[in-house]
Structure 1
Amino acid sequence: MIPVLNARWPQRLVAQNWGIVLLVLAIGGFGALVLYSAAGGSVRPWALNHGIRLIVFTALMLALGLVTPGLWLRLAYPIYGLILAALVAVEIVGFVGGGAQRWLDIGILRLQPSELMKLAVVLALARFYHFLPLAYVARREGLLPPLALIAVPVVLVLLQPDLGTSLAILIGGATVIFFAGLPLLWFLVPAAVGLASLPLVYQLLHPYQQRRIDIFLNPELDPLGAGYHITQAKIAIGSGGLRGKGFLEGSQSHLAYLPEPHTDFIFATMAEEWGLVGGLLVLLAYGLLLRWGLRVAIDGSGVFQRLAAGGLVMTIFVYIFINLMMVMGLAPVVGIPLPLMSFGGSAMMTVMVAIGILLGIDNETRASKRPGGVVDPA
């Protein structure tokens, strides 16, 4: 039997990587400050709720940090199946908002199962390769089942429709497959085929998705319509200069020129008031978080630990990378929030759960390196 919280849990809590916990709180706290400014110097409607969520999910993150990785190994498939069922439920009774059907209204929370599927796919694939003999990794048996585990939720999420989240699920899953040891050629060939088929894929997209791509390639095509988001984000970031306009002095967000200043475009809101210096500090904070996560993946004590950590780090990276690229006009607008800073419950919960699992893996690894340290069985 694998313990969830064994008798050593007080020691595990004390031994938690508190530097990372403080880093997460710093990013989230700064996000609350930006949300306070975006609302014109008011804690409502965003900053207060963001702060409450940050506290609640930090407690959840710390609790998950006490869980031994072996439990995630046992529960990986049940978690995947449960969230897959939730995705099917979204198609049947899901809440419709903003022209998309992506949420389940469970009373106290409007849950977006596709966000949690990013983590579930990673855990399920890590479990698959943990028990797969190494000789089978580069064979058909090591590729077809993982592709099925990825393809089913990707298709369901595309039906919502949510291209950004489906890409995040695909990238997280592909990362685990790559780290498992599949030959690089197996990735290069599909990538080449995918690039060659982009014109066909474009024709299969929804009209609004095609429009986003058109605007990405030429924002001036419709500066007051579909290109308005990117144009205003660029103006906000550029007008911030080196040191920014100052706290509570951002004109683009306060005068409602910048759409979604509290969610997808919160980085532009921040950059206008805090400038290049603030932007670089945010990037440094994220860089430290990702560097730690990558170290956890490299040092993991088992196959499951290494693959799960690698996939979770990539999932967090995809959030950051796509959001920043989108805000700066270097990628189409796909509606992916900036982790820990953007207003929204599902995305924050997903990232905090991922960090909590990483903390648990890190705890186990560091415990095994201490004199007399033991690794909990998996």
Structure 2
Amino acid sequence: MSAVLDQPTLMRRVLPLFQGFDWLLLCAVLLLCALGLVTMYSSGYDHGSRFYDHGRNMLLAVAIMFVVAQVPPQRLMAFAVPLYTLGVALLVAVALFGITKKGAQRWINLGLVIQPSEILKIAMPLMLAWWFQRREGQLRAVDFIAAGLLLALPVGLIMKQPDLGTSLLVLAAGLSVIFFAGLGWRLVLPPVLVGAVVVGLVIWYEPQLCAEGMRWPVLHDYQQQRICTLLDPSKDPLGRGFHIIQGMIAIGSGGFWGKGFMEGTQTHLEFIPERTTDFIFAAYSEEFGLAGNLLLMAGFALLILRGLLIALNAPTLFARLLAGAVTMIFFTYAFVNMGMVSGILPVVGVPLPFVSYGGTAMVTLGMGLGILMSVARSRRLMQT
């Protein structure tokens, strides 16, 4: 009788919370976090408490991941419409009476100053996954058109702020869901080919297009300048081209093994702008070289491949689309950041996941990891 009434131990009560966790995915994240902490200690040692704040933000992201992982994908569906509606409403509020900093109107004061566009990084794939789940088995062309409109509304509002980096991330997340939902290659290839032709023409006619006084339609002036600077940063080496040139110098000077921990001259002589945030990859490359970059890319490759495998084995269409889109968010973060620092993409405000300093981005990443863990757990628990 006493054995029946015995209370379970703390270990037995806690253990079910970790049941079904994808430990390979967690190992990839821990590797990236370790590399991020080492790099932050070196590049941010004279930036006050940035190293300790970065560690605190990582712990916060892990806590958020753990909480979100306990929520089954079916319950996550209930948040799709309210979160998307709230995000779009806040973007409209930002456009009407938002706070302007450094020429961009991206924030709003609700007792606490927030950047609503960050909400859409998670709300957008949630909304589109919910949309396609409701139409499973009866998808028509009009459903994809409606999904495109749902995506275009927040992306347009974010670009108007202007915030090219966040709009690219939201766009990539939304397009991933639409593609994974079954959009045919016949509709994907034409815009890709058109984009390739446009890029080729811009490169070919760069001197004329980037001439003094030339204005491009659609793009803001600063966006046009970023593209022109990417094509030829040497035109303004001490101004707009400074970031790209110094980033490439730092990456190249690292060689194969790098200059060593705390030994990066470009980093510690402050030639690399934003060395703890957007351009931290340049600081990392200088000190750890190509060997360190291969290890970093292996961590991201493991994270992305594991995320895609989780999406492939997801039990429902909603979970599959959501996990696939979240995985592509991680890919977009890493690809765009490394690309802009290496000089193959325009400079935009996109951090390197788990390496760059930033509390808001870390919270978003924690939520994304929690969603992947939730999908992985639902599959494993169903099997057992």
Once residues 168 and 157 of structure 1 are traced to their aligned partners in structure 2, the CA distance between those partners, rounded to angstroms, is 11
The alpha-carbon distance between structure 1 residues 271 and 197, as it changes in their structure 2 partners (threshold 3 A), is: closer
Listed one character per residue, the Cα deviations across residues 124-153 of structure 1 (whole Å, up to 9, x for unaligned) are 111111110423x2422x122201110110
**What SS does the corresponding residue of 2:95 show, helix, strand or coil?**
helix
- 1:119 positional shift: 1.6
Q: Do 1:12 and 1:363's aligned partners in 2 also have CA atoms closer than 8 Å?
A: no
Report the counterpart of residue 189 of structure 1 in structure 2: 190
**Residue aligning to 2:141:** 139
Give structure 2 stretches of 5+ with no counterpart. 1-12, 203-208, 210-214
Question: How many angstroms apart in 1 are the aligned matches of 2:152 and 2:198?
Answer: 18
State how far apart, in whole Å, the 1-side matches of 2:295 and 2:216 are. 37
Q: How large is the RMSD of aligned CA atoms in angstroms?
A: 2.1
Name the larger-Rg structure. 2
Distance 2:110 2:286 in 1: 37
1:3 matched to which residue of 2?
Answer: none
Cα deviation 1:136-174 (Å, max 9, x = unaligned) = x2422x122201110110110011101222122122111
Counterpart in the other structure of 2:166: 165
Distance across 2 between alignment mates of 1:215 and 1:234: 14
Identity %: 41
- 1:138/1:182 contact within 8 Å kept: no
* Distance in 2, Cα, partners of 1:278 & 1:132: 45
Q: Contact between 1:29 and 1:51, CA under 8 Å: does it hold in 2?
A: no
- Counterparts of 2:255 and 2:197, CA distance in 1: 40
Q: Write the mapping of 1:299-314 to structure 2, written as runs, cut at 5 A.
A: 299-314=313-328
- The letter for the 2-side match of 1:121 is M
Q: Within 5 A, what are the aligned runs for 1:1-378?
A: 10-39=15-44, 41-42=45-46, 44-105=48-109, 110-135=113-138, 137-140=139-142, 142-194=143-195, 202-370=216-384
User: Cα offset for 1:14?
Assistant: 3.7
Question: CA 1:9 to 1:299, structure 2 compared with 1: closer, same or farther past 3 Å?
Answer: farther
Structure 2 distance, partners of 1:202, 1:134, is: 43
SS at match of 2:217: helix
Deviation at 1:106, TM superposition (A): 5.1
The TM-score normalised by the length of structure 2 is 0.88
CA contact (8 A) 2:20 2:378 kept: no
Partner Cα separation in structure 2 for residue 202 and residue 314 of structure 1: 30
User: Does the CA-based 8 Å contact 1:179-1:310 persist in structure 2?
Assistant: yes
Paired amino acid for 1:116: I
**2: CA distance, partners of 1:146 / 1:51:** 38
Q: 1 CA distance for matches of 2:97 and 2:49?
A: 28
Where structure 1 has 5 or more consecutive residues not aligned to the other structure, the ranges are 1-7, 371-378
Q: Deviations over 1:221-243 (max 9, x none)?
A: 11111110000000111111111
CA shift for structure 1 position 366:
1.4
Counterpart of 1:374 in structure 2 is none
Which residue in 1 is equivalent to 2:4? none
Residue correspondences, number: 359
Contact 1:73/1:123 (CA < 8 Å) preserved in 2?
yes
Asked if 1 retains the 8 angstrom alpha-carbon contact of 2:61 and 2:365, the reply is no
Task: State the TM-score, normalizing by the size of structure 1.
Answer: 0.89
Distance in 2 separating the partners of 1:9 and 1:163:
43
Rate the CA distance shift 1:325–1:26 in 2: closer, same or farther, 3 A.
Answer: same
Deviation at 1:175, TM superposition (A): 1.3
Tell me the alpha carbon deviations over residues 254-280 of structure 1, each in whole angstroms, 9 at most, x when there is no partner: 111111101111010111111111111
Q: What secondary structure sits across from 1:204 in the alignment? A: coil
Residues 18-70 of structure 1, C-alpha deviations (whole Å, 9 max, x = no match) = 3433432331232122122113x357231111111111121111111111001
